[in-house]
Chain A
Amino acid sequence: MAHVEIENVSKAYGPYKIIEGLDLNVADEEFVVLVGPSGCGKTTTLRMVAGLETVTSGTIRIGSRDVTELRPGLRNCAMVFQNYALYPHMTVGENIGYGMKVRGESRASIDKAVKDVARVLDLEQYLDRRPKQLSGGQRQRVAIGRAIVRSPDVFLFDEPLSNLDAKLRIEMRTEIKALHRRLAKTIVYVTHDQVEAMTMADRVVVMNRGRIEQAADPITIYEKPANLFVAGFIGAPSMNFIHGEIAARDGALVFAEPSGTGLILPKSREAAYGAHVGKPVVLGVRPDHVLHQGGPAGTSIRMVVKDVEPLGPHTLVIGSVGAFPFTAQMPVGVAAEPDRPFELALDLRRTHLFDRASGQAIAAA
């Protein structure tokens, strides 16, 4: 059992607090991805688990062991670094086997383990090459091989794919997922790429300013964002936000935007929204939850188009609704033109409402 428990962990550099009171439990064999913008503390968190950064306060446990004060080598974690961190003067085989050599294991067992790992990662023909003679993807596989060979309790990945090109990144993503299934080990993975987070994780942890904004499975994160930050961070293009307030009109709750248009909120959500009548809220609409015209009354809004971006499978219509920027994902060939109004119908069952003051989602049952 190698679950990871991060309990009330804080990290400060002098007067600068990077992480404050972070709590996170990673279950045994779980694949958790920490995602967030630059400087949100995700890499620092990972490095604290690895022992490469000290903890200012709090406790970190791996399995049943309190590792907070242990040095990195005694934590039985393996880390894959963003820049691979391969030993440039060693061959691929020596790189993979270095840890075992350091631990004084026999030449025969090192050779066998290195060959096994090389077979799994398709590196057999490169064992005598040096890192310099490998492509980015191969180097990354060597780094992963070095991690696998020591059979750690926990794998830590620090933005391992960010130096690869888009195509290779997709391939490596699949490989790492397959590896996780095969090895059945706990993985903590850091990335700033939300697509990586969504596609790979059992659970996504969205971080911002040293705090966890939401930790949930990818679909929940996407469909039920806990707050404005998560809603805006996850999803590409990101969610549209329109400020307004909830009003009661003609026996129904409506979202009233500043221009006066009232969007009739679904009956099923009235119980949750009722307490917020008259309060400022933010309506969140994903670009792909918008239909072009033809919606029933009380579901339509008008945007002014600024640009139309044909992307192939669909077209993005970019503009604004009132003072708020708005992007709609439309079918190819949609009749939208710059500087012209464009009628939209919203699928209001799939929209989100957030309390403007706290930024928190107004929970809908």
Chain B
Amino acid sequence: MMRNDPIKHVFIWPAVLVVLAISIFPLIYSFTTSFLSYRLIPPIPPRVVWLGNYASLLQEPRFWNAIFTTTLIAFIAVGLQYVIGFGVALALNARVPGERLFRVALLLPMLLAPVAVALVARMIFNPTMGPLNQFLSEFGLVNLPFLTNGHWALACIIAVEVWQWTPFIILMMLAGLQTLPEDVYEAAELENASAWQQFWGITFPMLLPISAAVVFIRLIESYKIMDTVFVMTGGGPGVETETLTLFAYQEGFKKFNLGYTSALSFLFLIAITIIGVTYLALLRPHLEKRR
């Protein structure tokens, strides 16, 4: 087939139309909606408000609170996931007895549905009836307000996120570790480099590209956290654990305020884009060195 054979259109256009229909069209529709005052309940005809939805969102303290909460959860959870996940991957990469069993067991949480995990977590952390407080009371500790105090609730959500998603980091870092050449470590061994020096001098820099990708994926995913928070705290107490997606849900599906929710979604997209671009810009010099 020649490069300028018209048959190429037969192959290209269906794909372009499918992409337009399933990806671009909803985006454009949602984008236009964000400039409307569009409520389903009570059903009021849509009215163009231009940037009105954006303006009122940016003046809404609840929006800023949601941004802050989501960022807090995402950064702390992903940070912990990375440190713990990398550590566990290093341990699993060493040939220890029973390593295969550990490998499977440690990867299991990732395979569970987040809603199920959150339900179990809600039971465990239940301040009055949960087994955790019961266990702690055995040591004479008072009942802790796991899900009823804002700080404790955030910590619980982060703990569940870390528990569920660290396996993903383990999986990726372990795959990365297994691609590292052995003779490089032998060369370092001959140079009398300690385990710590080998980690900082060889392992960490050689795995930086994969680390960057893994953290990026987890960060973006964490910003979209919904089910865990929805089930565990419902955003409460008050709005202390309300994340961006939960806020969007409340606006979209409780108040059916579609224009406002669309604007919120786009602000969310802008926020994630800013975070992503900054993250990559910060890492780029280090990653380019390794090309």
Contacts and interface: CB of A to CB of B under 8 A. Distances in A.
Interface of A: 50-52, 71-75, 77-79, 81-83, 85-89, 98-99, 101-103, 146, 150
Point out which of B189, B190, B205, B289 has the most chain A C-beta atoms below 10 A from its C-beta.
Answer: B190
Given A81-B186, A89-B205, A102 B290 contact: no
Contacts of B208: 89
Given A89-B289, A102-B194, 16 more contacts: A50-B186, A52-B186, A71-B192, A72-B186, A72-B190, A73-B192, A85-B184, A86-B184, A87-B184, A87-B201, A89-B208, A98-B188, A98-B193, A99-B193, A101-B201, A102-B192
A73 B191 CA distance: 5
B181 interface: yes
B275 to A, nearest CB: 26
A51 B186 CA distance: 10
B197 interface: yes
B2 interface: no
B60 interface: no
A52 B191 CA distance: 12
Contacts of B193: 73, 98-99, 102
A88 B191 contact: no
B138 interface: no
Contacts of A102: 188, 191-194, 197, 201
Contacts, number: 72
Interface string B198-210: 0001100110100
Given A52-B186, A85-B181, A98 B192 contact: no
Given A73-B192, A102-B192, A102-B197, A89 B186 contact: no
A72 to B, nearest CB: 5
A81 B189 CA distance: 13
A82 B184 CA distance: 11
A81 B192 contact: no
A71 B194 CA distance: 11
B183 interface: yes
Nearest to A132: B291
Given A98-B201, A102-B197, A89 B290 contact: yes
Contact of B206 (A72, A82, A83, A88): A88
Most buried by A among B184, B194, B197, B289: B184
A150 B93 CA distance: 30
A289 to B, nearest CB: 42
A88 B289 CA distance: 10
A150 B197 CA distance: 17
B206 A146 contact: no
Contact of A83 (B181, B194, B197): B181
A150 B205 contact: no
B96 interface: no
B187 interface: yes
A150 B187 CA distance: 12
Contact of A72 (B181, B189, B194, B205): B189
A103 B190 CA distance: 12
21 contacts: A51-B190, A72-B186, A73-B189, A73-B193, A75-B190, A81-B186, A83-B181, A83-B183, A85-B187, A87-B184, A89-B289, A98-B188, A98-B193, A99-B191, A101-B201, A102-B191, A102-B192, A102-B193, A103-B191, A103-B192, A150-B191
A239 B226 CA distance: 78
Nearest 7 Cβ contacts at the A-B interface: A73-B192, A99-B191, A85-B183, A85-B187, A102-B193, A89-B205, A72-B189
Given A81-B183, A85-B184, A89-B290, A71 B189 contact: yes
Interface in B119-178: none
B192 A74 contact: yes
A110 to B, nearest CB: 13
Nearest to B207: A89
Contacts of B191: 73, 98-99, 102-103, 150
Nearest to A98: B191
Contacts of B197: 102
A86 B187 CA distance: 8
B190 A73 contact: yes
Interface in B219-277: none
Contacts of A71: 189, 192
Contacts of A89: 202, 205-206, 208, 289-290
B205 A146 contact: no
B202 A87 contact: yes
Contacts of A75: 190
Contacts of B184: 85-88
The residue in A51, A52, A150 that gathers the most chain B C-beta atoms within 10 A of its C-beta is A52
Contacts of B183: 81-83, 85
B211 to A, nearest CB: 13
| Residue from B187, B188, B192, B290 whose CB has the most chain A CB atoms within 10 Å | B187
